[in-house]
Amino acid sequence: MAKNFQLVHKICTTRCQSTNVFTAVSLTNREYYTVKITDLDDLTDPQVILNEISRTRHIRHNNILPLLNSFVQESQIWCIYPHIYYGSCRDILNAIQAYYTANSDQNLNTNNNNNIDRADEQIRLCFNEQSIQPIVRSILLALDYLHSKHIIHRCVCPENIYINQSGHVYLGGMGYAISLIDNGFLNKRLHEYPSKIDNYVNYLSPEILQQNLIGYNTKSDIYSLGVTICELANGIHPFIGCEKTQMLFEKLVGYDIGLWDRSILTTEICASENPKVIAQIQRRCFSEKFRNFVDLCVVKNHEFRANCHQLLHHTYMKKMKLQSCLSTFQISIISEGLVELQKKIKNKTIQNQSDFSQIVQKPTTPSKNINSWNFD
């Protein structure tokens, strides 16, 4: 099976460090795919990847990343997904940050302050309010579908939101998903804490972290979505730099993790924060509808938190215009990093997989049917 694909470019290594993500080309139809290769020898708990495969193969929705194929290759699990040209929202944030850093250094040397301010504003905003609308709507549609199937995603974050070349948005990362149905009975609440989720704990809702007798339900995904929106709009995570105990305390007491714009600035904040940070926040002015939408997502008490249906009919969603999720600025700087790779692909300069010899082991006899479900 592995011989049907030629790895072209390593996209990233996931937070669990045992999975590498590649862009690959199929040798049968010459089309591009995204390939996740998980080394079973490095996994302390293979349940996450097995759960992702099991959940995804039973799900069909336009905004949930489909699993085209999966198979075992010696001590590795290969998962084949559609090619995601722009990657995840995390990849886009990293690309913008890298662009900003490089251009800031260059502009400081040339004393071009206008360019610094323009780039600085873009990086701090990252995804503007209008660009976030189609992303949020797509994720809400995906979550609404999952919740109708009594499935809680439990890992909504920028790493699991993907955007393809046409601007279509997918929700992925089903490894931590769990069903409310157990042994034929539908539970109203769950109490199980997601195992091996320490890298994503900042996105978890207070009720999951609290682990009390009340438990949690599908609305925990809404809280995670609210935190994700704040990160996309603010440019940084609301709990960046916080110790886990401090983060837990702030969530349990209902700390305000909303949007950062000029409306939150007070004399006390301006006096205590870095002047450069204050200057960036003063440039922003989010609409009241957007702020209210986020506030409904991050309500501490899940009983009063909005659900997917209510959020899809919020005024912020109703006036959404048909547009790309990415601004022209974002597309241009991401494309800069992809141009060289595309040239290499077109010129066929990447002809072998020697660069990945330590990750990809020698494949066995390939199967002729690349669409089969094969764990042999």
DSSP codes, 223-242: HHHHHHHHHHHHSS-TTTT-
Residue (of 327, 319, 312, 36) closest to 174 by Cα position:
36
Q: Per-residue DSSP letters for 60-74?
A: --TTB----EEEEET
pLDDT of residue 66: 95
Q: Which residues in 260-272 are b (16+ Cβ under 10 Å) and which e?
A: bbeeeeeeeeeee
Looking at residue 4, the DSSP 8-state letter turns out to be G
Task: With beta carbons less than 8 A apart as the criterion, state whether 51 and 199 touch.
Answer: no
CA distance 178 to 192: 9
Tokens of 289: 């509808």
Task: With beta carbons less than 8 A apart as the criterion, state whether 278 and 124 touch.
Answer: no
Tell me what the pLDDT averaged over the chain comes to: 79
- Matching residue, tokens 């709009």: 233
In this predicted structure, which of 78-92, 132-146, 233-247, 348-362 has the lowest mean pLDDT? 348-362
Task: With beta carbons less than 8 A apart as the criterion, state whether 171 and 161 touch.
Answer: yes
pLDDT of residue 324: 59
* E-only strand ranges, 74-194: 76-82, 151-152, 161-163, 169-171, 178-179, 181-182, 185-186
pLDDT of residue 211: 87
More confident residue, 296 or 342: 296
Please tell me the total number of residues recorded for the chain in this structure: 376
pLDDT in tens, 100-151: 666 655 554 554 444 444 434 443 446 888 888 999 999 999 999 999 999 9
Max mean pLDDT among 39-43, 324-328, 361-365 falls in 39-43
Residue (of 267, 286, 10, 15) closest to 127 by Cα position:
286
In the Cβ-directed half-sphere of 36, how many Cα atoms lie within 13 Å?
27
pLDDT of residue 272: 67
Domains of the chain plus CATH, in order, are 2-86+337-356 (3.30.200.20), 89-332 (1.10.510.10)
**Average pLDDT of span 229-255:** 86
Tokens of 324: 């790309």
The answer to whether residue 44 scores a pLDDT higher than 60 is yes
CA distance 90 to 160: 8
Tokens of 51: 């759960």
CA distance 76 to 163: 26
End-to-end CA distance of the chain: 11
* E-only strand ranges, the chain: 5-13, 19-26, 32-39, 69-73, 76-82, 151-152, 161-163, 169-171, 178-179, 181-182, 185-186
Strands 178-179 and 151-152: antiparallel
**Average pLDDT of span 47-76:** 91
Other CB atoms closer than 10 Å to residue 65's CB: what's the count?
23
Confidence band of 306 (pLDDT split at 50, 70, 90)? very high
